Amino acid sequence: MISLDSAGSIRPISRSMWCKTTSETAQEWIPIAPQRRLRDKTAVSLPGADTGVCIELRWNAMGSVNAATGEATTVSSPGTIIFPHSALSHGVTFISYHSEEPSFAEAFSCSTETLLTVSSQTDAILDMRVPLSASREEKALRLELVTRVAEIFEDAKEELFEDGMESDFEEKLTKLIVQYERNALAVLRSLLFLRSVSFEAGAEALRIVGHLDHPYTHSERLKLLEECLTHSRFEIRDGAVIGLALLDNPSAIPYVRNAIQSEASQSLREDMAHLLLQLQETLDALFPKKD
């Protein structure tokens, strides 16, 4: 969360932004931090950005990325870009910049782009990892989905989830996953890992992800659940354990084993051990051992 105290002093944002390079040899996500919010500005450190580098800034003002363009800003000090606060309060913001700075160019090629999203409800900056190679349409779709998934989570605040029961949240999320498949799951992942949603609803989402009978997204749902086994929040890890029990795919066994090693909660370790046993039984049933 980003917030500004009453005195308007600088408060660091707890999470990192990430950017993607276009280098053929270094297709890695790298953290760009720190970010600080001033009274009416947000300062973001971007690698390789130096004085004079031109920054293009766009945001989604009316549900369409193409409909609005933001103002260009320049780097005020080496590696730091100051955005007007207004630029980061219109929903989704897209930043791209080019750097000729030698060390940056050498390490990461010379072009980087980052997607930032700012939820109007939570004022949280979200990370959206869209491949640079993605089409314009795909980028626009991801941005639209951020808003839609965030709205589904917002509506879920009114719901009390109960084991075995259906919910409006389930209906909406299921529809979105079935329709938008990996793009919807990628957005869900971002929301979960940037801790911008209710953890109860996040855990419920993972049960839904595990329960869904939709072969086309099976492997991506499995991957999301595996990743969430080591999430920083207990509730999300618990939701991932239940989701994996529902999905019942033994491919998760190594991930569950690793998660048990790092799990601090005894009760959750026990649940993970139970899950491991279930998955092992499923594996044995699929490939019976010969005597």
Residues in the site for other proteins, rule: CB under 8 A? 160-166, 200, 203, 207, 211, 213, 234-235, 238-239, 242, 245-246, 248, 264-268, 271, 274, 278
- Percent helix, strand and coil across the chain, each rounded to 5? 45, 20, 35
Q: 80-84 and 17-21 as β-strands: parallel, antiparallel, unpaired?
A: unpaired
- Closest separation in Å from C-beta 1 to other proteins: 17
Q: 73-77 and 29-32 as β-strands: parallel, antiparallel, unpaired?
A: unpaired
**Burial class, 246, CB count within 10 angstroms (exposed 0-12 / middle 13-18 / buried 19+):** middle
- Closest separation in Å from C-beta 6 to other proteins: 23
- Closest separation in Å from C-beta 110 to other proteins: 42
- Closest separation in Å from C-beta 116 to other proteins: 29
Q: Which residues contact 72 (CB under 8 A, 6 or more apart)?
A: 54, 55, 56, 57
- Residue among 70 and 210 whose Cβ is closer to other proteins: 210
- Residue among 220 and 271 whose Cβ is closer to other proteins: 271
- Residue among 120 and 267 whose Cβ is closer to other proteins: 267
- Residue among 68 and 268 whose Cβ is closer to other proteins: 268
Query: 286 near 250, Cβ under 8 Å?
Result: yes
- Closest separation in Å from C-beta 164 to other proteins: 3
DSSP string, 21-80: E--SS---EEEE--EEE-SSEEEEE-TT--TT-EEEEEEESSS-GGG-----EEEEETTE
- Residue among 143 and 203 whose Cβ is closer to other proteins: 203
